[in-house]
Structure 1
Amino acid sequence: MKGDFTRNTFDPAKHFSRVLMQQGRVTLDADFNEQAAILLDYMRTLAKDLIGPYAAPSAYAGFRLTFDAATKDLIIGDGRYYVDGILVENDEPVPYSLQPDFPLLAADPLAAELKAPKGTVFWAYLDVWERHVTYIEDDEIREKALNGPDTCTRAKVVWQVKALPAASLPQPNITPAGANLASCSAPLGGLMAVSRALMAARIKPGGVFKDACVTPPDSKYRGTENQLYRVEIHQSGAAGTATFKWSRENGSVASAWLGTSGNDLKVSRSTGFAAGNWVELIDDTQELMGLPGALVLLTKVEGNKLTVDPTTASPATATTWTETLVNPRVRRWDQTENDVIHLAGGAVPLTEKTASADAWIPIEDEIQIQFSPNGQYRSGDYWLIPARVSTGSIEWPPLTDANGLPVVVDGVTQPDPLPPDGVEHHYAPLGFLSLTGTTLSLGSCRCTFDPASSCFRGGSLPVGAHLVKPFNFDARLLSEEAVEESKAEAVLRKRKKPGTA
């Protein structure tokens, strides 16, 4: 999450139950965020333990798939679903091609099959992840009375219904009629929660993290000395294809992109940008599709105009602003080219450790990173590295041996290679489907659960609906009208503005 944070202190391995504020102490964002993370982790772990990895409440089971012959589109049913304990909500039926948080590629194979059926079998699944939202993406979260400054940011649960041809799965001959628990869940193993990769970070042996209080005359940065470095995958792939970018401020320096005139980008604010910066031009569509934006080099900053070097834009139309862009923005990154680092399209080529080369990659101020062999890297996945001047080092766990002791080689404590801090994806199968004419064959993979209370079992009564007869009550006798009324009330409640009755 690209916010202006000090660090992320939540560690489930420590089993903290809450954060306790003390009087007369400095309040940090990390403490507040850790409390929210502790509670959220508890709730989601509890939900997963009780419900299982994925299931829907029987009274309002969401994400049922049907076919609309008139529009030749798949309809995703309204309701709720739980995936790894995460509550996923769809407030109203939506077409597959018009999902709110999943812009389809023009060549989407399932969409093409729905328009012109060839009998191809697809495995449909739910992809769930958390997206970071700032005032640039949703200006309503900013308090207008402050006349400009933003405060807190938000995290949003994003759901996306996706599909893979059954022929590409480990069991390629599954048909809708053959859908069962084993066949439904088998393809999940091929989906990545996060990049299957490891990265280590360290201070160069013999080096000392530069004291930010001693600032060279030509330095461009004169803010706080403590940093939260972010190393983020730019181009997906394996080593040799994958690239990364990095930021000393967690990628939080960004501005709304309002238009283009020649080589000038009009932005809402230019604070934090300077000539020589590489910036990323991206919008919601690219982010939701898991695609990186274009990196371009700034040559001048004047007022709220950022001038770019047009020769660095790839494609050449990358700097073109249009009305079709959704919340376009400009984000600063801090990688630069030097005698050691040679950029590729503005990003750093990713190299891995080998038997003959340690392949430590310099960032700045003696900070180095190293990628372990045989990684699979996905665009947007990232690692965070807090750097602190008071200790002259970074916060990174050491590699430990079987006895839990730090591993020391040639007098140097070795850093532990870690998986990415995010973005973590969670998956649930929805079903195997094929289309013959206008007839949809669906082998459902959806699971449901009843409420724990015996009064509400049977799949006919949403939790929280009013009981007509509190005793000797059979929920299955409740009318369909009452069920629909309860669902409507739930949707209305979600749409109410904060502070309204």
Structure 2
Amino acid sequence: MQGDFSRVTFDPVHRFSAVLSQQGRVQLDSEINEQTAILLHYLRGLVTDVLGPAACPVAGEEDPGGFRVDFTDGVLKVSPGHMYVDGMLCECDGAEYWSQPDGHLDQNHDESRKLPADPFMVYLRVWERLVTAHEEPSIRELALGLHGPDTTLRTRVVWQLDWVSLGPGGLEVFPEADNALTALKEGLDRRFGARGMLAARAQLPEDETDPCDLSPESGFRGPENQLYRVEVHRGGTAGQATFKWSRENGSVVFPVRSAAGATFELDTLGRDDKLGLDLGDVVEVVDDASVARAAWDVVPRDATRLYRIVEIDHAARRVTLDNDPAFDPHQLGLGTAPGLRPLLRRWDHRPPESAEHSGALPVEEGRWLTLEDGVQVRFEPAPPPAGVPGGEDAEDAEPVRRVYRPGDYWLIPARVVTGDVLWPEDAQGKREPRMPHGVEYHYAPLAKVEPAGDADRTVIDLRSLFVPLAKARA
């Protein structure tokens, strides 16, 4: 979540049931947000325990329920209604595959997303997106002024209709309703591989250094508390993947008023030097479509590039980038459609001189990489295989490779008072590598689609249906 937070504290491992305020104490955003997270964790866990990981309510035998797949005349669509996926409520007014509300697919350009002629499974991908007052102006309270503070944010449940082949390179199985979810998750895990892991620390002194002779380069040296965000930019394995980082959790954004080539007119250039734009800053152009499209190709071959600010006109609130996004084949007119709420998001790293990484930093496993002010991160290499059945040597086993998925991120709180970052340690005091804090995708199988003739398709429903208690009693 790219919000202006002090830190994110919820962890189900602690099994906390409530956050309780004390009189006369300072209130923190992290504590209020943790109470919300505790309640959501409870409610979604309860729904999952009662209904299962994916379930759709129906009023009776004549009610199709939500997200029932229909394939007629080459058009894939789903019925209106709703469905619970890992306890998350997904609501649908009825949608077609190519025009689904949070798909932002382009039938003329997205060749890889066209429905195959061979059998395939249709499934639902569900995730939560953070929505700011820039992307949804109704959040802002105008009584505080036209350009008043954006006091709060929102999260929105996003669902997308997707498919996976049931032949070679896909699931390679023909699941029935009772094992469809298991087959789907196992197939996606094989396809995407083990997720990347990361550890964080403040720079340590050299070995055997006397505590009285600590170098000023040791520890966190920033002047303020920060919430660092390390986010995967381009997906893939180490050597292919890239990352970017922000000391403000990626929350420094600038809404785009208009765009002409590489020149962007912005609503604001920021409140101050700390939260503003400067020459040489790295920015990413994003909008509603680019955020939604990032989920379609979890490990794309290429990624949208990042840009540098090369010119600033403070009076006109205009900035010029080092390249025109219109010439980037992955941008598809990014930043030019006001209805998609385009904005520039600032990142705080400095890109390498080579243009190979499109303005992001290469992921290097197995060594500590310094961000700034003593904050360091380490991408954890996968452990060597423990051996294979049949007495073969471990060297003969295929090595495990970690795959870094675009949008995956880690949050690293850095604190001035301790000169360190807040990160879990093992029993020996070493910083533990952790899975990404997000993005978490949830899945639900909807239907199996098989050829049945020249243009017809057979649709086999894979949803888990239930009759609500009130309807059952009636």
Normalising by structure 2, we get a TM-score of: 0.82
Q: Is the 8 A contact 1:337 1:343 kept in 2?
A: no
Q: Is the 8 A contact 1:6 1:228 kept in 2?
A: yes
SS of the residue corresponding to residue 128 of structure 1 reads strand
Q: Residues of 1 paired with 2:169 and 2:352: CA distance?
A: 44
Q: Is the 8 A contact 1:73 1:111 kept in 2?
A: no
Q: Residues of 2 paired with 1:181 and 1:54: CA distance?
A: 12
User: Gapped runs of 5+ residues in structure 1?
Assistant: 213-224, 354-358, 400-405, 408-412, 458-473, 476-501
- Cα offset for 1:169? 5.7
Q: Which residue of 2 aligns with 1:364?
A: 372
Structure 2 CA distance for partners of 1:337 and 1:439, relative to 1, 3 Å: closer
Q: Which residue of 2 aligns with 1:73?
A: 75
**Greater C-alpha radius of gyration:** 1
SS of the residue corresponding to residue 181 of structure 1 reads coil
- Cα offset for 1:312? 9.8
Structure 2 CA distance for partners of 1:275 and 1:110, relative to 1, 3 Å: closer
Q: What's the RMSD between the two structures over aligned residues? A: 2.6
Q: Residues of 1 paired with 2:20 and 2:113: CA distance?
A: 51
Say yes or no: does 1:24 pair with 2:24.
Answer: yes
Q: Is the 8 A contact 2:261 2:325 kept in 1?
A: no
Q: Residues of 2 paired with 1:314 and 1:109: CA distance?
A: 21
- Cα offset for 1:301? 2.7
Residues 336-386 of structure 1 deviation map (CA, whole Å, 9 limit, x = unaligned): 1579x9982210000111xxxxx1111001111011113211111100000
Q: Which residue of 2 aligns with 1:460?
A: none
Q: Which residue of 2 aligns with 1:63?
A: 67
Q: Residues of 1 paired with 2:245 and 2:292: CA distance?
A: 20
Structure 2 CA distance for partners of 1:6 and 1:43, relative to 1, 3 Å: same
Q: Which residue of 2 aligns with 1:488?
A: none
Q: Is the 8 A contact 2:228 2:247 kept in 1?
A: yes
- Cα offset for 1:201? 0.4
Q: Residues of 1 paired with 2:251 and 2:245: CA distance?
A: 11
Structure 2 CA distance for partners of 1:35 and 1:275, relative to 1, 3 Å: same
Residues 191-212 of structure 1 deviation map (CA, whole Å, 9 limit, x = unaligned): 2599711100011112121151
Q: Report matched runs for 1:82-97 at 5 Å.
A: 82-90=84-92, 92-97=93-98
Residues 91-141 of structure 1 deviation map (CA, whole Å, 9 limit, x = unaligned): x2211111001122533566455xxxx4x2111111000001111211111
SS of the residue corresponding to residue 77 of structure 2 reads strand
Which amino acid is the alignment partner of residue 292 of structure 2?
L
Normalising by structure 1, we get a TM-score of: 0.77
**Bigger CA drift: 314-323 or 304-313?**
314-323
Q: Report matched runs for 1:59-208 at 5 Å.
A: 59=59, 61-69=65-73, 72-90=74-92, 92-105=93-106, 106-108=109-111, 111-113=114-116, 118=117, 120-146=118-144, 147-149=146-148, 150-168=150-168, 172=172, 174=174, 179-183=176-180, 185-191=182-188, 196-206=195-205, 207-208=218-219
Q: Is the 8 A contact 1:240 1:351 kept in 2?
A: yes
Which amino acid is the alignment partner of residue 96 of structure 2?
P
Q: Which residue of 2 aligns with 1:238?
A: 237
**Bigger CA drift: 379-388 or 159-168?**
159-168
Equivalenced residues, count: 417
Structure 2 CA distance for partners of 1:9 and 1:317, relative to 1, 3 Å: closer
Q: Percent identity?
A: 39
Q: Which residue of 2 aligns with 1:426?
A: 442
